[in-house]
Amino acid sequence: MQIFLDSTDTKIIADLASTGLVDGVTTNPTLIAKSGRPMLEVIAEICDLVPGPISAEVAATTHEAMIAEGKKLAGIAPNVVVKVPLTRDGLIATAAFASEGILTNVTLCFSATQALLAAKAGATYVSPFIGRLDDYGFDGMDLIRDIRTIYDNYGYETEILAASVRHVAHVKDAAIVGADVVTIPPATFADLFKHPLTDKGLEQFLKDWAGTGQSIL
């Protein structure tokens, strides 16, 4: 499973990308607003930091305007993925982008039928929001399972990008049910490394090694 960072903080992205474990980055208007920086500048900088897919979202609501904005965003760098909402106009724009070879991430997916339409439109990625579904009493993983089954049934190549991820258990469960990608906040990425037994075991190993008085170098 690929791991994307959901962030616009270029310092944090650069630090975490140095692990070699970051496959891409997703952004959205809320994250751009929090950065306080010009959107095109931020996207360009992220594209230089991470060679994988970088999602940049349109702000328009009509397909004509989405297409114009998307082409502008796609021109920033070859690894830009144009992010559009899962609306009728968004899918019309998605189909237009697909015909021109422009990568897309169809976001705000909350049902398997929406995901089916996104695949039919030629989306590169579809982003089901599992955390928000959980907030409303649904199981976000059920949606991932349903989309996985539908896509496998018909051989759709659209990748399932699990979004609105809140914690490590979401990452684990998304991997188990077959999500292709998970996009996570930097704090959740950091938590993936952690386990108290790992810390305890390392502490004991270091203590025992110190007792030997040896040095490897």
Question: Do the Cβ atoms of 48 and 74 come closer than 8 Å?
Answer: no
**3-class DSSP state of 62:** coil
> What one-character DSSP code corresponds to residue 61?
S
Return the H-helix or E-strand segment holding 41.
helix 39-49
Let me know if 200 is a catalytic residue: no
- Distance (Å, whole) CA 100 – CA 178: 29
Neighbours of 125 (CB within 10 A): 27
Question: Do the Cβ atoms of 142 and 111 come closer than 8 Å?
Answer: no
Catalytic residue among 11, 71, 83, 200: 83
User: What are the residue numbers of the active site?
Assistant: 83
